[in-house]
Every structure is written in structure tokens, then in C-alpha cells.
Structure 1
């Protein structure tokens, strides 16, 4: 009879798995920390959630400003309806839930209560794209496609802790509604090494390159930068353009980088239907830029459940798969 100790099970669930590499610099809860700091100087800021404060980092705001925090329970429609009412009185609400619940379950309330009257309500969506292993019920792989068609709504897909931290006050200052694809918990810190600052509505060239241009948003900008370093070992010179604002889209900056002889690739943590790739292709078509664009993103299908590293590899958004795709395109 064996006396060996049972194998230790992983303590991190697929729901809250981190996207950070083991040796990567991170900041804990940049959204909650930035929102709490903003509330110190802006008395209009309030925070709401639909029973997901801990899992959207709203609990940090709730602890520091309990009198301005509202727990709405498991009712996303109520969450956004109440946020609209608060905005009508001059408050600046940040309302958090999972992206799937905001985009799928509460769309009509966000559209007619918030976007149509152009109210300053900031929708904060956790678990965007493939940032959870819990399968289609929680993987918001089509949230940007759903929201891009909504008039007045600004959409932000941040790369890292710096992006999130700097975006919060700008979202609050923006007159109309916004949707933030939230990275929560221990969030990688990447962009501080690239002389970068977040500007709402602006794309930024993070590095130049003569052979390939990678146009990315969200956590895929982190992967794009990693892939660019790896491709250098193959004598491939790669530029990276980060587009954290999906709507309104900075077509001027992106098309300037796109309209060159280089291989052009988009990278997004979202289905290739209706997100960044679509925004880039639409902008190119409007301006008459005849250019083939290779999309790297999630497939137009419901995804599997499982461990995030396995799923990112399976669906082609890991660093190694990005490198393979670029090298194959270069022939």
C-alpha cells in the first residue's frame, strides 16, 4: 500500500487565473486602486457592482469609500438602470460586473438608459475575451462586437496596469458612456518600459520595425511585444502599435503604420469578428488602403473550458503561436 502524499492541487481556479507570467512584474488591483484615488479628489464618483465587487476589484473602492459604494445584488439590469439615474443627478458612476453579463444580459438597459441619453456611466467588464477558463458562459469573446454598434459608447481595451490606472480618470472626465474591458487581480506591468502614456482615443507606436507591423489591443499588446522580441532572434524586425481605444478608433495613427510594404497583423483577445481586426479593415477600406491584413484572435465559435495557458495555445494567441503565424506568413 502506497504511503505517498497526495498530489497538491492548484489553488487558483480557472475563474480567477492570472494572465501574468510567473516572472512578470505586476500591480495588484490597479482599477480599484485608481478609482479609490480618483474619488478622493472627485466627490461625484460612485461605485456599483452586481455581487462581484471582489472579482472586479471594486471591493477596494468599497472599503475606502463605503458611503459611495452600492451593492446591487445579482441584477445587472438594476445595476445599469440605477447607474443611469445617478448620472442624471450629476454623479459619475463606475458600474462593474462580468463582461458577459453587461454585453449579453443588460444590453438593452445600457443602450436605452445610458447610451441614448449619452450619460456619463462607466461600464466596467471583468473577464473579457479568453481571461477565464470557465467556458462560454463566462468568456466574453464577442463583447466588443456587441458594443461597437452602440451609438455614443466609447470602448477601451487596456493592455496592463499602467493603461488601466491612467484610463480611469480620463473615463470619468469623458462626457458620454464608456466600456472598460477590465484586467483584474495581479495585472502585468508592461508599458512603462516604452515611454507610454494612455490617451483616450489614441493609438501609440511602441516600437518600430522594418519587416512586420503588429497592431494590437488589450493583453495582446503584451503578447505582441513578447513576440517581437522572440522574432528578433529570427532576424525579423517587428513594429508594435497599441490601440487601447477601439471606439472611437484612431484610424490616422493605425493607417499610417499599416500603409507600408510590411506584413500587417492584428492581435486581439476577442473573436476576429467585430473587434480590432474589423475596425482596422473598415478604416483601411474607407480610406482606400489596399492592404492584406492577417488577423490573430479568437475563432468565431464557442470556446472550450480549461486552463488558460492551454487555451491560449490552442486558440493561437500565445506568444509562441504568434511567432509561428508570423514566420509562416513571411514564408
Structure 2
């Protein structure tokens, strides 16, 4: 097991052997962000700017303007908070080829408390025009993502965590920016997860399976640009979704999914949200904080059962009726259309 930050450090050092334009910057946290792996092998291409996150981004933008590919590293809470103006203007607005790497994201940071728990960074970064936002789920995905974002021309925010995670994927895994991945298929509900929450989403799917509920699990490693076609496909297929993230439910993955479905989905479906409610979190062990805030397999499975119930009745309860009636529109055989209406009504009854 390894954390995504550890996998990142190794991948960055490996990539440095093959990409001589790659430069790495850090704000005096290289042992924590694991950029020290690159520094040890390529000291002439590593820059420690000290505890000066605004300068970190400014220097990175300058290096990008000279044709370098800078990876600027610090904690996620500092990358998205203390240096936000520089990220907004010098990187996003300028379309600089800078990779902003935020480690120690979410409440997996645990005992460091709310001052160091980035729970709104996705919302801030995905709101910026030109910014690509990526969060890998394990070491395998992290290594592939590092190469992909280095090859990508333009600003990237790369979100990593401190906690060690088991690998979900193996050496055959293919990574593509902007393309979601079906980690598990199912017809009854779609669980959409990102980062460390993918592991818990898969556990939730197994819990639901024990109740004869087939849950699909979708890994959204690229939160922006999000894979609209995959989300729409599974909204149609399952009729309900649950979004899971170690981030505020305001402006994060769940919001991005809801925006897509509200604007582009033909049929309204119920969506559940697992994440940090509108609060600052506490200091404590990561697993205890996850339980406190409902970021558990049981919490996800419960949300899945609730949205399944809602798609058969209630606020969005006419999803199936709407879907079947739309299929009947333009049908020359009125008896077939009537049959569809009757079948839908029987289901709702």
C-alpha cells in the first residue's frame, strides 16, 4: 500500500529521466509532498522557494513562459487558498503550462485539523477557466496520471492524499484525461466516486449486492473536464446516482455531476450526495473523521437505497413513467403506447 503522494513522488522522479524540460518547485514541504524524490536525483532542476506559496506559483508561471514544464508542490489547502490569486491570474488566466500539485487533501489529513484540511479546493479550482482538475484513486492511477498531465498543454490541478491506499487497478489499466472508468458495473444505481472514496464506493457496492442491488461504480479521476457522456449513459441506465467525495458537497464532484445531468439529461433522476456538509471539520484520526461525516460504505449504501426508493416514487418518482412515455411518443400502434403507460403505472403503484 502507498499514498497517492508517495506514488506521485516516484513517478515524478522517473519522468525526470525522460523529460528534460520538467522542473519541480516546492514551498519548503518537499518531504511531505514527496517532491524530494525528484530533488535527490535532479537538484539542478529543483527549486525550494521557502514558505512563500504566492512566489511558488509566480516562479512556476515564469518558468512555463520559458518553455519549461513546472510542477509546483504544496499542501492542497495552501495551493487553493494562500496562492489562489496567483493561480487564477498567472496560471489559469494566462493559460500557463503549470501543474499545481496539492497534497494532503480532504479530511484524510486527519489530526492536522481544519487549518490544513482542504475541503473546498476542487470547488475553487474547477471554477477557473482553462483549469483541468485531476484526482487519482490509487498508486497505479497516480503514476499514469503524472505522465498524462505532464504531456497535457495547459494548467492542471492535481489533488493527492496522505493516507496509504490499496491499489484498485493493475498494470493493464489505461488512463485517459477526461474519461471516467467503470470500476464495477450494475443496473440499479450508479455510485460516482473520486480519489480515495473509490475504495469505499466499491465496498458499498458489495454491501448493496448482499441485498440483491446491483450498483455500478464510476471512477471520475478527471473532475474537469468531466466525462459527460459516461454520466448521461449511466443516468439513463440506472435512473439514480450517488456522488461520493472527500470534499464539501458544495462545488465539488457532486455539484459537477448534478450540473451535467440538469443541463443535458433528458430524464430527471434522484441524486444522493456523500461528502462534507457545510461545516469545517475536526482534528482526529482519518478513519474516525470519515465515520463522523458519513464517508463510509454503510453511508454510501444507505444513500443508494434511498435514491432507488425515490426513483420509484416521490419528488422524482415519475422518472420511469417519463422514460416509458417518451418511448411511446410517435408510436403508430396506440395499443403499444397504452401498454407502456400501463406498465409504468403498475410499477409506480
What TM-score results when the alignment is normalised by the length of structure 2? 0.84
Alignment correspondent of 1:108: 85
CA–CA separation in structure 2 for the residues paired with 1:26 and 1:146: 27
Higher relative contact order at CA 8 Å, sep ≥6: structure 1 or structure 2? 1
> How far off is 1:320 after superposition?
2.8
CA–CA separation in structure 1 for the residues paired with 2:250 and 2:23: 34
CA–CA separation in structure 2 for the residues paired with 1:312 and 1:295: 14
CA–CA separation in structure 2 for the residues paired with 1:42 and 1:113: 24
> How far off is 1:156 after superposition?
0.3
> How far off is 1:261 after superposition?
4.2
Q: Structure 2 vs 1, CA of residues 55 and 154 (structure 1 numbering), >3 Å: closer, same or farther?
A: same
Q: Structure 2 vs 1, CA of residues 187 and 43 (structure 1 numbering), >3 Å: closer, same or farther?
A: farther
Alignment correspondent of 1:151: 129
Matches within 5 A, 1:1-331: 25-26=1-2, 29-133=6-110, 134-184=112-162, 186-192=164-170, 196-289=173-266, 290-330=268-308
SS of equivalent residue, structure 1 residue 114: helix
Deviation string 1:152-210 (CA, Å, 9 cap, x unpaired) is 110001111111100011111111010000134744311229x6322111111121112
Contact 1:31 1:184 in 2 (8 A): no
Deviation string 1:298-325 (CA, Å, 9 cap, x unpaired) is 1111111111111100101122322333
Q: Structure 2 vs 1, CA of residues 217 and 185 (structure 1 numbering), >3 Å: closer, same or farther?
A: closer
Indicate the structure (1 or 2) with the bigger Cα radius of gyration.
Answer: 2
Deviates more, 1:260-269 or 1:207-216: 260-269
CA–CA separation in structure 1 for the residues paired with 2:117 and 2:98: 23
> How far off is 1:328 after superposition?
4.7
Q: Which consecutive segments of 4 or more residues in structure 1 shift more than 6 A?
A: none
Q: Structure 2 vs 1, CA of residues 199 and 321 (structure 1 numbering), >3 Å: closer, same or farther?
A: same
> How far off is 1:215 after superposition?
1.0
CA–CA separation in structure 1 for the residues paired with 2:216 and 2:33: 32
SS of equivalent residue, structure 2 residue 269: coil
SS of equivalent residue, structure 2 residue 70: strand
What TM-score results when the alignment is normalised by the length of structure 1? 0.88
Contact 2:22 2:68 in 1 (8 A): yes
Higher helix proportion, which one? 2
SS of equivalent residue, structure 1 residue 130: helix
SS of equivalent residue, structure 2 residue 31: coil
Deviation string 1:25-84 (CA, Å, 9 cap, x unpaired) is 447811011111111011000111001101111111111111111111100001000000
**Structure 2: gaps spanning 5 or more residues:** 310-349
CA–CA separation in structure 1 for the residues paired with 2:260 and 2:58: 34
Deviates more, 1:56-65 or 1:227-236: 227-236
In the alignment of these two chains, the number of paired residues is: 306
CA–CA separation in structure 1 for the residues paired with 2:281 and 2:20: 42
Contact 1:27 1:186 in 2 (8 A): yes
Alignment correspondent of 1:12: none
SS of equivalent residue, structure 1 residue 77: helix
CA–CA separation in structure 1 for the residues paired with 2:143 and 2:162: 12
Q: Structure 2 vs 1, CA of residues 271 and 109 (structure 1 numbering), >3 Å: closer, same or farther?
A: same
